[in-house]
Amino acid sequence: MPGTTSTSISRAGSLLHRRIFADRAKFRSVYDNRSTSDYRQSRPREPLGASTMPLAMNRDVFITCAVTGSGDTTGKSPHVPITPAQIAASAIDAAKAGAAVVHCHVRNPETGAPSRRTDLYRELTDRIRSADVDVVLNLTAGMGGDLVFGDVEAPVPFNPDCTDMAGATERVEPIAACLPEICTLDCGTMNFSLGDYVMTNTPSMLRAMARKMTALGVRPEIEAFDTGHLWFAKQLVAEGLIEDPVMVQLCMGVPWGAPDDLNTFMAMVNNVPSNWTFSAFSIGRNAMAYPAAAALAGGNVRVGLEDNLYIARGQLATNAQLVEKAATVVTAMGARLLSPAEVREKLKLIKR
């Protein structure tokens, strides 16, 4: 600057430094003498909902037990039930352990292979309904969409021993015969596990099945294995084919759907409309971590031998033991377990 000497600059700098240190000392004196509440009150308030990911834990949780499934697990654990009597007994034990809902498949009593036989579903339903414990019955309608291609060089004809494709009426026949409170609706098509198996559920098929389930007064439980399944589920709701209250099961970690890492899980959760009721599970080694994850994310819990055979490393479990462990986890977190009656009220289910 014109007319400015080095001496004047030095003096000005010294004066500025003294003022800065004096202001710092004054600030520290005021800050150290005020209370924590004063500090909190002085902070600018964030607008309501400004947090990008608030903790919205569900404190009123229901547990679903997936009793047997249709996987090749009967030779891996003696606890996997096969006959209608065994499946019903295991479901009843799970209900006594704290499950409000039991989700059931049936198997061929002689071979243990998955089955769609209506007489087996009727026997299972009668046994559960005549039990001395109340439980919400959820039957699968997922059978009849199994497409297994031939060799990679000759994908057609399809593998006749493993392919099981049926029409919408046939797939829903056990539901119409038994009228459970809930039945599942696998809401999409995906490459499933190993080999050349494709779980096949076309949009037309899903629309027809959803329409039939709703007409029967049975609540569809949407099973979503990836975000695209949730997208189409929203379309079914928008078309009036699935009515409120909507319930969805987030199926995590099933090859080759959505993996079960927490980032992907929260992506699934964030695609569930806020007025839907959701549950979540994972399979295998992460299955027993998911009760905590599901409740923390605002959802409900599913465990059972359909998804996981072990309660600890190397220790085979029963359905009742898996439910007991999930119940312990959830209640230790401060949540309350809903009863079957409370689940019926929440989801507007028809008890039969």
- List, for residues 91-122, the tens digit of each pLDDT value: 999 999 999 999 999 999 999 999 999 999 99
Its pTM stands at 0.84
Q: For 51-60, 202-211, 222-231, which range has the lowest pLDDT when averaged over its residues?
A: 51-60
Contact present, 330 and 337 (Cβ < 8 Å)? yes
How high is the pLDDT of residue 55? Answer: 61
**Each residue of 212-235: pLDDT tens digit?**
999 999 999 999 999 999 999 999
Kindly tell me if the per-residue pLDDT of 46 is higher than 50.
Answer: no
What does the pLDDT look like over 283-297, one tens digit per residue?
A: 989 999 999 999 999
Question: pLDDT by residue (tens digit) across 134-184?
Answer: 999 999 998 988 989 998 899 999 988 888 999 999 999 999 999 999 999
pLDDT, residue 339, reads 98
Please give the distance of CA 51 from its chain centroid, rounded to a whole number.
24
pLDDT tens digit sequence for 232-282: 999 999 999 999 999 999 999 999 999 999 999 999 999 999 999 999 999
Please check the confidence at residue 78 and state whether its pLDDT lies above 60.
yes
* Gap between the Cα atoms of 47 and 337, Å rounded: 33
* pLDDT at residue 220, as a whole number: 98
What is the phi-psi region of residue 48: left when phi exceeds 0, alpha when psi lies from -120 to 50, beta otherwise?
Answer: beta
Task: Return d(Cα 30, Cα 45) in angstroms, integer.
Answer: 21
Measured in residues, the chain has a length of 352
Q: Which residues pair with 189 in a beta bridge?
A: none
Percent share of the chain, pLDDT over 90: 76
- Interacting residues of 221 by C-beta distance below 8 A, sequence separation 6+: 103, 138, 182, 183, 184, 185, 247, 248, 249
Q: Is the pLDDT of residue 5 over 50?
A: no
Q: What is the pLDDT of residues 145-154, one digit of tens each?
A: 898 999 889 9
d(C-alpha 94, C-alpha 97), whole Å: 5
- Does residue 259 or residue 14 have the better pLDDT? 259
Do 120 and 106 contact (CB within 8 A), yes or no? yes
